[in-house]
Amino acid sequence: MTASLLLLVVAAAAPTAAQSTTAVSESGDDDAHLNEDCGAGETEGVAEYWRSYNGVIYATVVFGWLSILACLAVLAVSYAHGKGRRSLRARIIAGLFVSNLVFSIGIANPNVYVCQSGTYTQVVGPTTEVGLKALLYGGKMGMMAYELFIVVTSIAMLRSGTINMPRAYEILGHAICFAVGLTVFVFFVLKAGPQWEAAQGWQTPEELEAEVRWSAIGKDLMDGWVVLFGIFILLWVGLRFQLHMLTKEWGAVVAETKEEWQHEDRWIAPDTAVHDARDRKQQLMDLQKQSYREVVMPLAPYVWTFLAFSIPAIVMATDYCTAETTRVDSRNSGPAIECFMGCYMVLALRPLATAAVYFRDPQCRAELRDCRTIGRKLWRRLSDSFAWAFGLDDRRHGTVRFNRQLEGVRIIDDGDVGEVDAGSDHDGVGGCGGGDDGTATGASVRYELMED
């Protein structure tokens, strides 16, 4: 499934790359184009305005492509090393970065204006513009859904004292997150696409009215994002309060246990029922601490990064930003940065910052530098998935029933061997980004070590 999602988002990035090439080839020397006479009443202030406008666009595109590369690096490391096979948090992180990748593709939109035939014209065509905007909003909503998924999962893990959840609930959570992003994508294409097509020209009253409707659809989606962000803040505050109360409770239990240990009379038989209840409470607290260390705490930096970059997203949804953008747009003179464009430029760095959180772990960075191992494991996993999907692998017919992702191990199939469920609900511990390297073991399976 992860491999299919990667192929889809990489394929979706192709039009962006093509448009970037077109922008460079058509614009050539940007200053030369902008200094041409694009109208009888053009002044140097107008040319200066478009230079600053295009400068912000180019910066956003650069940040967007850096974010695309960073997201692909995270997904490649995670998928090659099988981190999501037995780690809940690694699977959540992978889904979060798929949404970040879709958002990065959408925001890396080379929508510059060049002087052609006496007027400034967009390089990106209407269809591509709608598609990239739909990816941007779909990825943005998908990220919001995954941040909610992270907070809800953290709350559930702390309450239950476990490092995993039932597979059905986890699948439902991922499905909801992807459904939110896909729904927004389809809605924008079907609803806003015709309006953008009708607005081309921006001269007649009908075209201007279509442009207003196009902008209103984007504003409604941003308002919807703000509502979800409000829900996220409430859940996050609840999580922080829960952590605060658990921390106080853990400290109180430790102090109480230490005091009783110092004053307990060893010659008097203890109350068995009281001690059993205390032991059960202590065990639950130990499990809650484990959940905090292995799920809640590793996911917390992603939430803090999201909160930091939510500031420009909230600014975009305000009426002030809309009015300021309209004011700068209508003046159309002198160096100026539209509010929307400035916020988009900052938001283009969000996936890059999120990837920096992932690679802050030295093990992650070491795995990223080992390109040879990543390439070998990616090829093996992708080829095995392809062979299994098209019935070219004996495992599908029951001849070999073992996970072949073991490094340096040859499986000896001598008949009835135990089948290992690689998708078990047992969460692995360790590994960068959560989970182990995805290897599986089975006591009933014979194997021998092979030299690399």
Over range 201-212, report the average pLDDT.
83
Q: For 277-310, give the DSSP string.
A: HHHHHHHHHHHHHHHIIIIIHHHHHHHHHHHHHH
Q: How many CB atoms lie within 10 A of CB 82?
A: 23
178 is a domain residue: yes
CA 393, CA 321: separation in Å to the nearest integer? 57
**R_g of the chain computed on alpha carbons:** 27
Tokens of 320: 């002030």
249 is a domain residue: yes
% pLDDT > 90, the chain:
32
Q: What's the chain's length in residues?
A: 452
Q: Domain count of the chain?
A: 1
What's the mean pLDDT when you consider all of the chain? 75
Judged against a pLDDT cut of 50, whether residue 399 lies above it is answered with: no
Residue with tokens 């960075």: 365
441 is a domain residue: no
387 is a domain residue: no
Q: Residue 352: which of 11, 45, 73 has the closest Cα?
A: 73
Structural domain boundaries enclosing 160: 2-369
Confidence of residue 53 (pLDDT cuts 50, 70, 90): confident
Q: Residue 122: which of 13, 201, 232 has the closest Cα?
A: 201
pLDDT confidence of residue 131: 92
Q: Say which CATH number the domain at 30 has.
A: 1.20.1070.10
58 is a domain residue: yes
Tokens of 107: 């925001």
Question: How confident is the model over 259-289, as pLDDT tens digits?
Answer: 555 455 444 445 555 555 556 666 666 666 7
Over range 42-63, report the average pLDDT.
82
pLDDT confidence of residue 252: 62
380 is a domain residue: no
Half-sphere exposure of 84 (CA within 13 A, CB side): 22
> Which of 120-129, 317-326, 422-431 bottoms out in mean pLDDT, i.e. has the lowest?
422-431
Judged against a pLDDT cut of 80, whether residue 54 lies above it is answered with: yes
418 is a domain residue: no
CA 125, CA 109: separation in Å to the nearest integer? 11
Judged against a pLDDT cut of 80, whether residue 441 lies above it is answered with: no
Give the bridge partners for 411, in sequence order. Answer: 447
Q: What is the DSSP letter of 425?
A: S
Question: How confident is the model over 121-169, as pLDDT tens digits?
Answer: 777 778 888 999 999 999 999 999 999 999 998 888 877 777 778 889 9
Contact between 171 and 1 (Cβ < 8 Å): no
Give the bridge partners for 119, in sequence order. Answer: 116
pLDDT confidence of residue 68: 96
Q: Residue 180: which of 134, 142, 150 has the closest Cα?
A: 142
